[in-house]
Each structure stands twice: as structure tokens, then as C-alpha cells.
Amino acid sequence: MPDVLSLGKQILQREAQAIQTLADKLDSRFVQAVEQILRCTGMVVVSGMGKAGVVGKKVSASLSSTGSPSHFLHPAEAIHGDLGAVKSHDVVLIFSQSGESEEVIRILPILRSLAGSIIAVTASEQSTLARSADIVLQIGQIEEADKHNLAPSASTTVMLALGDALALTVSERRGFQAEHFAKLHPGGALGRRLSLVDEHMRSLERCRIAPDSETIRQVFTRHSITGRRSGAILLTQQDGRLSGIFTDSDLARLFEQRSEHLLDVPIHDVMTSKPTSVTSGTRMLEAIAIMGEKRISELPVTDGDGAPLGMIDITDIVAAFPEYAENRSPQNPLLKIVA
């Protein structure tokens, strides 16, 4: 009897081989299915029974999240009124290995009359499902990954992979971009990383900002703010554009070096000129990477003309992005900032 590790590898290899076999024989019918979904002006209604239904739910979610509105139709519920959700401008995508599932077969005649077209993902072109479909994506007779060739495993893996291929190919053809993906994924870690700096930056009302012609003493006495104080001051030139940044660490360094006399010179002389900044519309994922690479705790955000709009502060990132705060991987950009 093979050991546990060897058995696990064998199962993965069988499923991987099943996907590769399908990839090798993918033909023009896949192109037709993609074009059919692209032309769809309604919903992509996905259906399937049992394990194929579980795959269908995931594929439906993938379609919706990548730009193709979709919902799942349970075959058993369909005959009790849910068929009313299917319209003439919809495309129906049905998953069934055998193509003979009783619940699926029962609703096929009605789907033919209601939907614009039917795409079938099934093993044989001779199945009842295939004969009722407009486009058949044939996956063939697949040997399951278990030793008895019984438990749906390799077959459902192939269905899922083919569903992903459909959803992502359609998405690519639509020109679906990261900003579209971010709009549909506002929650969770993924949504946060795809969000824009504008959503997380401290607005100017919450930042210390001053002309770079003032002295350090004037800047600190004239430009206080209420609430949580940032560790940096944004400095602007006469035309309002960002010219520099001065941090609490810079101030501490002056005292450490016994350079208190510099408190009464223009802050322009001691500030960090042309600081690293990002423009409005930059993704937080990119901003965090920049802060890690430059090892900076504050990142100004400017408009297209270089005028400051706000600032990203390391403390805000730790609070809003717990996945970074808890990640101890050497690749975590936040670790570079605090190192």
C-alpha cells in the first residue's frame, strides 16, 4: 500500500493530467461558447446537480466577479418556480458529467423555450443534455482519481477548470481591468489591496501642512491639528505644489546633533526635498510596496499638478490592513518599513 504522501501526489497528478488532456483537445466549440457569452445581453444562468452543481455555483460566482452577470439555477428548485428567472436574452450553462441527471433532463425542454441558448459541459455528445444544447463542450470520459473510479474528483476538477477558462477568457475579451475587479470586490483583504489611496489617505484637514518658507519653529507653532497627529509635515512652495516633507524623526535628529539653531531657519533648508509621493488614483497595493521599498512611514498623495491632497501613514495601514500587520513573511513590505 502506498504511503500517505505518495497517495496524495498520485491523486494530484491524476487530476492534473485530466486537465492537461482536456486542454490538448480544446477546440473551436470553446471559442463559440466564449462568443455566445460575450453576446449575451442578459444573465449567464448556470445549473448542475450534485457535485456538478457545486462546480456550477463556483463558476457562476467567477463569471459575476469578472464582468459577466450570472446566477445559479438549482435544477430541483427550477421545477418549483425558479424557472421564472430564465429570460430569452439569457445564456444557460449546464454542467453534468453523464448528461443524464434526472433533474437536469426534466427542465431541458422548458429551458429550450425560455433561454436564448444552452451551453452544455458534459462527457458525451450523445447524452440527452448534449443533444438539447446549442454548444457542447465535451470533456470526455474521465477516470476519477480514487482507486475505485467512483468518487467525483478528476471529473469535477476538469469541469471547474473549464468553467474558469470560460469565465476568465470572456473577462479578458471584455477588457476587464483591475479597477473593474476592485469595484466588484470592495470587501476583504483582496478588496482592500485593490482599493485606491484616496480611500485610505488622511485628508488635508487631518494633515499638518505649511509653506516651506516658514521656519521650523513657526511651522510647529502655527500649524497644529486636532485628532491623531501624523509624524510628518507636508511642505508646499508658493504655487501650492508639494516641495518637501519634514518628519518628527528629522526634528529629533536636530536635537540629537545639537543643531537647535536651525529651528529658526527656513524649513526649506532642512526638509527632505522632492519626497517620494503617489498621485490620486494609485492602488494601495502599489503604495504599500513603495513604502516598503523606500522604508518610509509617510507617503504624500498629490493631484496631477503636484499639489498635496493627503497622506498615507503607516499607522493607518496597520489598522486598515491587518493581513499585513500579522504577516511575518520576509516579503511583507511593512516589515521593511519598521526594520
Task: Please state, in angstroms and rounded to a whole number, the distance separating the CA atoms of residues 125 and 187.
Answer: 41
Contact, 165 vs 30, CB < 8 A? yes
Per-residue pLDDT tens over the stretch 172-189: 999 877 666 666 666 666
Q: What is the pLDDT, as a whole number, of residue 212?
A: 94
- Taking residues 152-160, report their average pLDDT: 95
In whole angstroms, how large is the CA radius of gyration of the chain? 29
- Taking residues 53-64, report their average pLDDT: 96
Per-residue pLDDT tens over the stretch 112-123: 999 999 999 999
Q: What is the pLDDT, as a whole number, of residue 1?
A: 60
Per-residue pLDDT tens over the stretch 216-270: 899 888 877 666 667 799 999 999 999 999 988 888 888 888 888 888 899 999 9
Q: Is the pLDDT of residue 289 over 50?
A: yes
Q: Is the pLDDT of residue 305 over 50?
A: yes
Which residue matches cell numbers 453523464? 98
Q: What is the pLDDT, as a whole number, of residue 339?
A: 46
Same fold, 4-176 and 194-338: no
Q: What is the pLDDT, as a whole number, of residue 187?
A: 62
Q: What is the pLDDT, as a whole number, of residue 50?
A: 95
Task: Please state, in angstroms and rounded to a whole number, the distance separating the CA atoms of residues 77 and 136.
Answer: 24
Q: What is the pLDDT, as a whole number, of residue 65?
A: 87
In angstroms, the Cα distances linking 154 to 27, 145, 149, 184 are 20, 5, 9, 31
Q: What is the pLDDT, as a whole number, of residue 186?
A: 63
- Taking residues 182-201, report their average pLDDT: 74
Q: Report helix, strand or coil for 278.
A: strand
CATH of region 194-338: 3.10.580.10
More confident residue, 306 or 194: 306
Q: What are residue 310's DSSP bridge partners?
A: 203, 301
What cell numbers appear for 291 in the block? Answer: 513604502
Contact, 57 vs 75, CB < 8 A? no
Instruction: Give first-to-last CA distance, the chain, whole Å.
Output: 50
Residue 273 dihedral angles phi and psi, to the nearest 5°: -75, 150
Going by their DSSP bridges, the two strands 232-236 and 91-95 should be labelled as unpaired
Task: Please state, in angstroms and rounded to a whole number, the distance separating the CA atoms of residues 224 and 221.
Answer: 7
- Got the DSSP string for 199-266? HHSEEGGGSEEEETTSBHHHHHHH---SSSPPSEEEEE-TTS-EEEEEEHHHHHHHHHTT-GGGGGSB
Q: HEC profile for 91-151? A: EEEEECCCCCCHHHHHHHHHHHHHCCEEEEEECCCCCHHHHHCCEEEECCCCCCCCCCCCC
* Domain boundary assignment for the chain: 4-176, 194-338
Q: What are residue 48's DSSP bridge partners?
A: 95
Q: Residues of the chain with pLDDT > 90: what percent?
A: 63
What cell numbers appear for 186 in the block? Answer: 470592495
What cell numbers appear for 245 in the block? Answer: 516633507
What cell numbers appear for 158 in the block? Answer: 476538469
- Taking residues 299-313, report their average pLDDT: 94
Q: Residues of the chain with pLDDT > 70: what percent?
A: 88
- For the chain, the average pLDDT equals 89
Per-residue pLDDT tens over the stretch 269-281: 999 999 999 999 9
Q: What is the pLDDT, as a whole number, of residue 336?
A: 54
Residues 6+ apart with CB under 8 A from 274: 243, 244
Classify residue 87 by its DSSP letter.
-
Q: What is the pLDDT, as a whole number, of residue 338?
A: 47
For residue 258, count CB atoms less than 10 angstroms from its CB and return exposed for 0-12, middle for 13-18, buried for 19 or more: exposed
Residue 166 dihedral angles phi and psi, to the nearest 5°: -65, -50
Taking residue 18's Cβ as centre, other Cβ atoms within 10 Å add up to: 22
Q: How confident is the model at residue 87 (pLDDT cuts 50, 70, 90)?
A: very high
Q: What is the pLDDT, as a whole number, of residue 261?
A: 84
Q: Is the pLDDT of residue 18 over 90?
A: yes
Question: What CATH homologous superfamily does 4-176 map to?
Answer: Glucose-6-phosphate isomerase like protein; domain 1 (3.40.50.10490)
Classify residue 271 by its DSSP letter.
S
Q: What is the pLDDT, as a whole number, of residue 195?
A: 82
